[in-house]
Amino acid sequence: MAQPAYDARALALRLIDCVLRHQRMLSEALGDEDVESLPPEIKARGQRLAVEVLRHLSRADAAMKPYIQQPVSPPVKAILRLGVVELLALDGAPHGVVNAAVGLTRRHQGTARAKGLVNAILRRVSEDGREAWDKAPAQRMPKWLRGRVGGAFGNAAASAIELAHERGAPLDLSVKGDAAALAEAVGGEVLPTGSVRLAAGTRVSGLPGYDAGDWWVQDAGATLAAKMIGGTGLRVLDLCAAPGGKTMQLAAAGHEVTALDLSGRRLERLRANLERTGLTAQVVTEDALHWEPEAPFDAVLLDAPCSATGTLRRHPDLPHVREADAIKELTQLQAQMLDRAAGFVKPGGQVIYCVCSLLPAEGEAQLAAALERLPELERDAGAEDLPGVPAEWHAPDGGLRLRPDFWAERGGIDGFFVAALRRRGDAG
C-alpha cells in the first residue's frame, strides 16, 4: 500500500500495517525515509489516527461486524477500521469520513473493487453503529500479558487497566519552580505528587515557559523514583538516563548528577533537554555492565530496561510488537544491572530501582530476589513514604506499585514499580 507521498489518512494506514502485519513500533515506522520527509502536520495527524485505531480495534470490529457478510481483505479491513474510528471515536462528519474512505479504497488496484462495500458499511455504521461500539469491551491486552496482569491484580483490575489504556494519557509536566504558578499559567492541575497535568493533545512547545526551560514533560509516575533520594548536594548516578527526565529532576534538586546510558543517540536528546532547562549533569555514553566509576556514589537510580507494559496507554502499538519470551531475558538483565548498581553505591547510600512495567516479575519479584541475593542491601521503606502517594500504591512486600487505572478521576497514571534500597554500613 506504500505510495511516494501520503496524506494523513494514507499515512495512518501505512503505520497501522507496519504495526499489525510487520510487528514494528510506530516510532520505528515514523523514521522510515519516505515518512520522515513528509510535512510535520501530515506526520502528526497520521500518527494520531493510527494511535486511535490501535486503541479501538475491538470496538471498531464490533461496530462493523453486523454489516460484513463475508471476509474482507486486510487492506480493506484497515480502511474500514480507520473510518469507524473516525466516525465513532473522533466524531468525524459522516459525509467527509465516508468519502475519504472510499477515496482511499479507489487508490489501489487491490482494494478498488471494494469501494461500494466500504461506502455501504461505513454509512450503516454512521447511522446504527454506536450501540455496538459502546457495548464492546475496551481493546484487550494480548493473552500472555492479560494472563499475567489478571493473575497479579485480578481480572476486574485487568479490565480497568484496559479501559485506562483506551482513554490514553494526559500531559504531565515536572516543574523547576512553583508548580501552582505554572498550573495557573497553562490552565492545568497540580497533582498531589507535585506534577502539573494538562489535557491530552496539548501542544507542548506553545506553552508558557517552554523556551525558558521552566519545565519538562514527564509522567507523574516517573517522577517518584528521583523523589526517593534523600538529602541535598549528593553525588548521584542516573543509570539508563536517557531521555533525561530523572536526570533533570535530580539536577534541579541540587545533586551532582552523572547520567549514563548506552545509547549515544538517546543521550543527544538528554543533552538538548539539559540545555533547554539550564541544568547540568556529566553525561557518559557507556554500558553499565562494563563501566567502572572513579569513586562510589551517594545514590544510584536505576531505571532498568523493561517490557514497558506500564505505558500501553501511550503506546498502543507495543502489545502487537512485544512478545512474552522477551520477559525472561529482560528480567535477567535487570538483575545484572541491580547487582552493578549495588556495587556503585557507597556504604549507607541508596539504590532506587524502577521499571515502567505492569509485570511483578520485573518489579516485586526483582525486589525480593535482590534482597535475597545481595545481603549488603536492605529496604529503605521510609524513602517510599512520599507526599501525595495514596496508601493503595504501596505494594504489600515493599515498593510502590502504580497501575494505569489508579487516579482514574484525574486521567490515570503510567504503570510503574519503584523501590528504595540502602547499602548497609556507615555512610561516614
Three-class DSSP category at 184: helix
What are the C-alpha distances in Å from 144 to residues 141, 149, 297, 324, 327? 8, 9, 39, 6, 11
Is residue 246 marked as binding? yes
Catalytically annotated residue among 18, 306, 354, 356: 356
| 356 a catalytic residue | yes
Amino acid identity for residue 316 in this structure: P
Is 12 annotated in a binding site? The answer is no
Was 7 annotated as part of a binding site?
Answer: no
Annotated ligand binding at 242? The verdict is: yes
What cell does 238 get?
542516573
110 is in an annotated binding site: no
Residue with cell 464490533: 62
Query: According to the annotation, is 240 in a ligand binding site?
Result: yes
Q: Cα–Cα distance between 307 and 299 in angstroms, integer? A: 25
Omega before 243 cis (within 30°)?
yes
d(CA 246, CA 251): 8
Q: How far apart are CA 122 and CA 198, in angstroms?
A: 34
Does 226 appear as a known binding residue?
no
Q: Is 346 helix (H, G, I), strand (E, B) or coil?
A: strand
What letter does residue 257 receive in the DSSP assignment?
A: E
**254 labelled as ligand-binding?**
no
Q: Which SS3 state, helix, strand or coil, does residue 200 take?
A: coil
Q: Is 241 labeled as ligand-binding?
A: yes
Q: Where are the alpha helices (DSSP H) in 71-142?
A: 74-88, 94-106, 115-128, 130-135
| H or E element at residue 348 | strand 345-355
Helix (H) or strand (E) holding 189: strand 189-190
303 marked ligand binding residue? yes
Closest by Cα among 312, 217, 308, 301 to 261: 301
Query: Cα–Cα distance between 341 and 291 in angstroms, integer?
Result: 11
Distance CA 381, CA 257 (A): 23
Q: Which of 171, 161, 190 is nearest to 406 (CA)?
A: 161
Closest C-alpha among 306, 283, 298, 384 to residue 344: 298
Report the binding-site residues: 240-246, 261, 287, 303
Report the binding-site residues for S-adenosyl-L-methionine: 240-246, 261, 287, 303
- Report, as residue numbers or ranges, the catalytic residues: 356
